[in-house]
Copies of this chain bind each other. A is one copy, B any other.
Amino acid sequence: MASPSTARTADDETPRYGEAEERALALWVVLSRAAQAVGALSAADIARSELTVAEFGVLELLHHKGPLLLGEVQKRVLVSSGGVTYIVDRLSERGLIERRACPNDRRARYAALTRKGKALMKQVFPQHAVAIRDAMAGLSPAEQEQAHALLRKMGLAAAAAMGPKAVREG
């Protein structure tokens, strides 16, 4: 996601939009940049384990939730249906997860961490938590909690604005 730009028009015309738009646009710029910067630190930490961000997302999800249907994984990791197949294939090839049949529904399949995958996450996740803690160290604990509350409100409202549908197609 490329960053939105920050500046005024090249020729110094008065913009044809008002205060509310300016405020929202400026907020969108700092939001993108903050997410980009923290995301880059997170990605750098993840790359040390030779994993992509999306792969790590799936491993982390299974680490915390246990075996999950592929459809559940898709909804939570926000990737297309083909993308889940692709990521799960690769993690399977590396022996970190495996597909398991679903007893009630022969169409469906679980993704579950293998022993090797569990061991990896037990080793890697705590240091990842430290990397994220450090990435957020620019804000005090109190500021982090303020930011949390504001971002949660913002995110829920924006998600609702799209309709409960289509967080990602499949």
Report how many copies the assembly holds: 2
Determine the chain B residues whose CB is within 8 A of the CB of A25 once the complex forms.
129, 132-133
**Count of A interface residues, CB-CB < 8 Å:** 83
Q: Which residues does A use to contact B, with CB under 8 Å?
A: 1-10, 16-17, 20-28, 30-44, 53-54, 56-58, 60-61, 63-66, 76-79, 126, 129-130, 132-139, 141, 143-148, 150-162, 167
Between-chain CB contacts (< 8 Å), 20 pairs: A2-B58, A4-B57, A5-B61, A8-B64, A17-B130, A21-B130, A23-B141, A26-B148, A27-B144, A27-B147, A27-B148, A28-B136, A30-B155, A31-B34, A33-B159, A34-B155, A41-B162, A137-B157, A146-B146, A146-B150
